[in-house]
Amino acid sequence: MTVLVTGGAGYIGSHTLVQLLEDNQQVVVIDNLSNASVESLVRVENITGKQITFYQGDVLNKALLQKIFTDHDINAVIHFAGLKAVGESVQQPLRYYENNVTGTLSLCEVMAQFDVKNLVFSSSATVYGDPASLPITEDFPTSATNPYGQSKLMVEHILNDLYRADNSWNIAVLRYFNPVGAHPSGLIGEDPNDIPNNLMPFIAQVAVGKRPSLNVWGNDYDTHDGTGVRDYIHVVDLANGHLKALQKIATKPGLVTYNLGTGNGYSVLDMVQAFEKACGKTLPYTFEPRRAGDIAACYANPSKANAELGWYASHSIDDMTKSTWHWQSNNPNGYNSQ
Ligand code: NAD
Ligand code: UFG
C-alpha cells in the first residue's frame, strides 16, 4: 500500500512514518517545512533503513498534489499538515483557516479527482471544549473557543458533509488528546520552533537548562492538586493508532471518529514529578495565574478505539518522560543540534 502523509516531517507525522515503513508500506510525504526540518525525515530513514519520497510543498498547491497523485499510486492519505498553536491562531485567524481548512479542501478535491477516498484526519480533543463531565466519549457535544479549535471542528463538519454526499469515502477522524514523548532511539522527537506553548517540551527545556523555570498556569483548579489535568499520550502509541485506522478504513466503515487517549488524567505537578524522576534533577517552577482559555481537566474514554480499532495505549507516564528526556538531552537544540 502507498500512503500519502501530509505534514510527515512534523512531530506526530515523523513517528507515524517510522511505523508505516516498519510495516513495509510505501510512503510519500508532502510538507512545506513551515514547522519542521527535513532532518526529521533523514532520521526516520536512518531508524528504518528505508527511503521516503519527499515533496517539499504546500497542500494548498493543487497542481503539486495532482502531480503526486499522477506519479504515485496512492491508496490512502494521512492528513497531519496543519498549524497548531492556539495563541497564534487567535492572532492570525485567517492564516489558520486558510492553512487548516482551505488546505484540507484542496487535498480532498484532488483526492476525489483521482478517486482516492481513504483518509485519516488529525483532529483534536480541543473540539470537546470544556466538557460537562469526564471521561469524554466521542458523542459528547463539540465546540470551539479559538480559531485553531474552530478549524478542526470545521474540517470535521466538512468531512461529514463530504461523506454524506458520497459514501464511497472512508474517513477516520482521530481526536488526539495530549501527545508527548519521543521515539526510543532518541533520534526523533518534538522540536518546537519558538518558546514552547505545551507543557512537556517546556519542562524538557527547563531540564536541559534552556529555560530557568516552569510557569505553572494556575493552582486553583478543582483537581487533586489544583493544577490542570490532561490525558498525555505517548506519540508512539498515537502513531500506532494511525496504522490501526488505516486497517479500519480498509474494511470500508464510512466515516468513523475515535478518541486517541489513554483514559488517565495527570496534573501539571504529576508531570513535573515524573520528569524529575526521568532526568534526575529538581525542576524549578512557580505558580502563575490561569492561562486564558484553559480548562481544569480533560481525559478520554478510549473504549471505542479499543473495541473497534483493537488499539490500546501501552506506554506509561514514565515511558513518556524518559523518552522525552532521551530525545531532549541528546538533541538540546532539536534538529539543529548537528
Ligand atoms: P507539527 O507542526 O510538528 O506537524 C505538522 C506538519 O505539517 C509540519 O511539519 C508542518 O511543516 C506541516 N505543514 C503545516 N501546514 C502545511 C501545509 N499547508 N502544507 C504542507 N505542510 C504543512 O504538528 P504535530 O504535533 O505533528 O501535529 C500534526 C497534526 O495533529 C496537526 O494537524 C495538529 O493540529 C494535530 N494535533 C496535534 C496535537 C498536538 O498537541 N501535537 C494535538 C491534537 C491535534
Ligand atoms: N501548562 C503549564 N505551563 C506551561 C504549559 C502548560 O502549566 O508552560 C499547563 C496548562 O495550563 C495545562 C497543561 O499544562 O493545564 C497542558 O497544557 P498544554 O499546553 O501542554 O496542552 P493543552 O491541553 O492546553 O492543549 C493541547 C494542544 C491543543 C490541543 C489539546 C488537546 O496544545 O492544541 O492539547 O489535544 F487541542
* pLDDT tens, position by position, 85-108: 999 999 999 999 999 999 999 999
Note the pTM of the prediction, 2 decimals: 0.98
**Phi-psi sector, 310: left (phi>0), alpha (psi -120 to 50), beta:** left
Ligand 2 pocket mutation pick from 140, 175, 198, 266 by most atoms within 8 angstroms of CB: 198
Distance CA 233, CA 223 (A): 19
* Mean of pLDDT values over 278-288: 98
Q: Whose CA is nearest to atom 17 of ligand 1?
A: 58
User: What would the pLDDT profile of 57-66 be if each residue is shown by its tens digit?
Assistant: 999 999 999 9
Query: How wide is the angle at C-alpha 322 spanned by C-alphas 321 and 323, nearest 5°?
Result: 95
Report how far residue 337's alpha carbon sits from residue 185's, in angstroms, rounded to the nearest whole number: 16
Q: What is the mean pLDDT of the chain?
A: 97
CA angle 113, 171, 153 (to 5 degrees): 100
- SS3 percent helix, strand, coil of the chain, rounded to 5, is 40, 20, 40
Name the closest-CA residue to atom 24, ligand 2.
Answer: 294
Q: What phi-psi label fits residue 218: left (phi over 0), alpha (psi between -120 and 50 degrees) or beta?
A: left
Q: What pLDDT was estimated at residue 231? A: 98
Q: What is the pLDDT of residue 24?
A: 98
In order, the DSSP letters of 71-120 are HS---EEEE------HHHHHH-HHHHIIIIIIHHHHHHHHHHHTT--EEE
Q: Of ligand 2's atoms, which has the minimum distance to the CA of residue 295?
A: 15
Nine cell digits for residue 261: 487517549
| DSSP-derived secondary structure letter, 216 | E
At residue 127, does pLDDT exceed 70?
yes
Distance, CA of 56 to CA of 122 (rounded, Å) = 20
Which residues does 157 contact at the CB level (< 8 Å), separation at least 6? none
Ligand 1 centroid – CA 280 distance (Å): 31
CA angle, residues 298, 215, 97, in degrees to nearest 5: 55
Residue range 156-206, pLDDT digits in tens: 999 999 999 999 999 999 999 999 999 999 999 999 988 999 999 999 999
pLDDT band at 337 (very low <50, low <70, confident <90, very high): low
pLDDT given for residue 193 in this prediction? 86
CB distance 34 to ligand 1 below 6 Å: yes
Q: Which residues are catalytic?
A: 148
